[in-house]
A and B are shown apart, each in its own frame.
Chain A
Amino acid sequence: MRRWVPWIVAAIVMLILPHVFAGGFGLSLLNRMAIAIVFALSFNMLLGQGGMLDFGHAIMLGFGGFLAMHAMRLAGLGWYVPTPLLPLVGAAGGFAMALLTGWIATRRDRTAFAMITLGLAELVVAVVLMFPSLFGGEEGINGDRSDGPKLLGFDFGTQGQAYHVLAFWAWLCALLMWRYTLTPLGRLANAVRDNAERVGFLGYDPARVRFRVYVLSGLFAGIAGGMQAINDEIMTSVNIGSEASGAVLLMTFIGGIGTFWGPVLGAVLIVLLQVALGTVTDAWQLYSGLLFVSMVVWAPGGLSGILLAHAPVVRAGRLGRLLPDYARLVPGFVLTLAGVAALSELGFRLEAIRGGASAGRVLGLPIVATEAWPWLVATALFLTGALLLRRTFPAARAAWQEAAQ
């Protein structure tokens, strides 16, 4: 019974959230997070749990999304698929795509697998563009989620109603994907990740294990696609392409691939970054990219890895000792961040001006990219911050090593 507590708490939190973040903006954010959570969790079934790096995970989300989109439009022909069940249609789409591509890709592992998925992803996008009647060409396929039959008086047209559908599916998928980690296949996936050859000597064909995991992961990615169809009411070739595949890799890695809940953290954070920063600056993709690179270099365990590493410190009550040294890192960190942001915005604006755009603003400040002084200020901020960090870091590291003993 105790095992259910986190899930019950999560369900309660999910029910409360839309009342806390009640505006259209808040709900839109929550909806996108729900979709990203399912997508990232399905991605980590492959990467963190199975040792498979899939460069084309969005093809399964996308195909599921397109199938769900068509199901949504069937209402116009008199065939009604209840909106809350559209993610199941997405599941079928993701499953089918995964069967097709997984049959080829999972014969190999490690680098070869990754390269095959990269190739297949490009192939799928090209095929999608070749059939505009099925996939809408450049404009994509759109629909209306309130066209479906009413359930208990709800037509799911409002964002709030859509939220409840999406939140339910996110909760259910997370639960099912958690349960999967406790099954024989889930454990075999871990074993194949750690030592595929030995798995063979224990009676299982590692390629078949990989295939099953890949198809299951595709099924859940398809559900995310169905959820996205409900939320966006449009599906285009962009949703099935490399940008979307790259985004899920980024958010899963930043969240941390070594734990089950790391991807959830990453999904929430990156959606926040995407939406919040997206309204403020054009360069938000650059920031998430920089964050990704920083993680790879300095914290490959991701955010969940960092948090987990601090857990024993917190349990031993030694967190207080760390905080002063950590706090001293903050000014350097803030300045470095400000410098990086300033340089990024200036660079971005410079390129835009060369392309014919006018000067822009960020946070209300005009960006003057064509004069020297903003560049000097930005560089000065960055260098000062970096120097400060360099000065204060050894003390923080020493405090960490001591606290971690």
Chain B
Amino acid sequence: MLDVTGLDAWYGKSQVLRGVSLNVGRGEIVALLGRNGAGRSTTLKAIMGGVTRAGSVRFDGQEMINRKPHDIARAGIGYVDEARAIFPDLTTRQNLILGEKQGPGGNFTLDDAHALFPRLAERADAPAGALSGGEQQMLAICRTLLGNPSLMLIDEPTEGLAPMMVERVRDLLLAIAAKGVTILLVEQKLAIALTIAARLYVMGHGHIVFEGTPADLAADAQTRRDWLEV
């Protein structure tokens, strides 16, 4: 579904990604791990076209490297930013409606979003800027889901969420993957990443330093010690 080869990326003058290569199969959940600053968020942003990049990003057989972010989104890739990026002066409902799109990923509706996170229904007419941090997180995830993407790039979905919400999001991710949506996930909470991901990549200093299954990583103390902190 997603084939990234030799991806380089720059923030202004400094090169942040160096030859990143990874792939995600249809319906898989793949996690991108690594320390803060390793380049995980940048990798997602680069796939989405949000930073200066070079290399190859093939999605569903098509080359995306020269496309603009809105074209990439139209092609069926949904992106949930770590910084949430909701529209503070629009209401919660308006934010969600903005994300609504016919897409290959299924038929997620506004009612589904409200059922999943009742809080969003309660706050439907409040300006999204008045929502708490965690509520904005829920809003950002649902807004992307409403676009019914076939591939979701998600950056730290559980950050700032209370333990109960974290579990709900974990179950949600498993559920949408079961429906055939492909997920590439950046997740700080190792426990979550290891339980839901089929495969994972570990990044360090802008490139991939490990590729394998959760079991492979559990067995590889060296990598864990060098590139993560477990």
Q: Which residues of B (167-224) have their CB < 8 Å from a CB of A? A: none
Residues of B within 8 A of A404 (CB): 13
| In the bound complex, CA of A401 to CA of B14 (Å) | 9
Looking at chain B, what size class is its interface with the partner chain?
A: under 10
Q: How many A residues touch the partner, as a band?
A: under 10
Chain A residues, Cβ within 8 Å of B13:
401, 404-405
By beta carbon, the residue of chain B nearest A309 is B13
Pull 3 A–B residue pairs with CB atoms less than 8 Å apart, ordered by A.
A401-B13, A404-B13, A405-B13
Q: How far is the CB of A318 from chain B (nearest CB, A)?
A: 13
Q: Which residue of B lies closest to A402 (CB)?
A: B13
- Per-residue CB contact flags for chain A residues 375-405 toward chain B (1 = under 8 Å, else 0) read 0000000000000000000000000010011
A52 smallest CB distance to B (angstroms):
24
Interface string of A37-49 (1 = CB under 8 A from B): 0000000000000
**Chain A residue at minimal CB-CB distance from B13:** A404
Q: Can you list the 3 inter-chain pairs with the closest CB atoms, starting with the nearest?
A: A404-B13, A401-B13, A405-B13
Residues of B near any A CB (own CB < 8 A): 13
Interface of B, secondary structure class, is loop
CA distance A405 to B13 in the complex (A): 7
B66, chain A: closest CB distance, angstroms: 15
CA–CA, A405 and B15, complex, Å: 9
Q: How many whole Å from B100's CB to the nearest CB in chain A?
A: 32
Q: Closest CB of chain B to A29's CB: distance in Å?
A: 38
Q: Give CA–CA (A401, B13) in the complex, Å.
A: 6
CB neighbours of A401 from chain B (8 A) = 13
Q: Which residue of B lies closest to A404 (CB)?
A: B13
Within the assembled complex, what's the spacing in Å between the Cα atoms of A129 and B13? 53
Docked complex Cα distance between A404 and B15 (Å) = 12
A199 to B13, CA, bound (A): 32
Docked pose: A260 CA to B13 CA in angstroms:
25
Q: CA–CA, A108 to B13, complex, Å?
A: 36
* A405: B residues at CB distance < 8 A: 13
The distance in angstroms between the C-alpha atoms of A149 and B13, with both chains bound, is 60
Nearest CB in chain B: distance from A111 CB, A: 14
Q: For the complex, what is the distance from the CA of A183 to the CA of B13, rounded to whole Å?
A: 33
In the assembled complex, the Cα of A11 lies from the Cα of B153 at a distance in Å of 60
Chain A nearest CB: distance from B89 CB in Å?
A: 14
Residue of A nearest to B52 (CB): A401
A404 to B13, CA, bound (A): 7
Task: Find the B residue at minimum CB distance from A400.
Answer: B13
A401 to B15: give the CA distance in the assembly, Å: 11
A399 to B13, CA, bound (A): 12
Query: Which residue on chain A has the smallest CB distance to residue B15?
Result: A405
Q: How far is the CB of B44 from chain A (nearest CB, A)?
A: 24
Which residue of chain B has the shortest Cβ distance to A405 in the bound complex? B13
A401 to B11 alpha-carbon distance, docked (Å): 12
What's the Cα separation between A405 and B10 when bound, in Å?
A: 12
C-alpha spacing A350/B21, complex, angstroms: 60
- A311: min CB distance to chain B, Å: 14
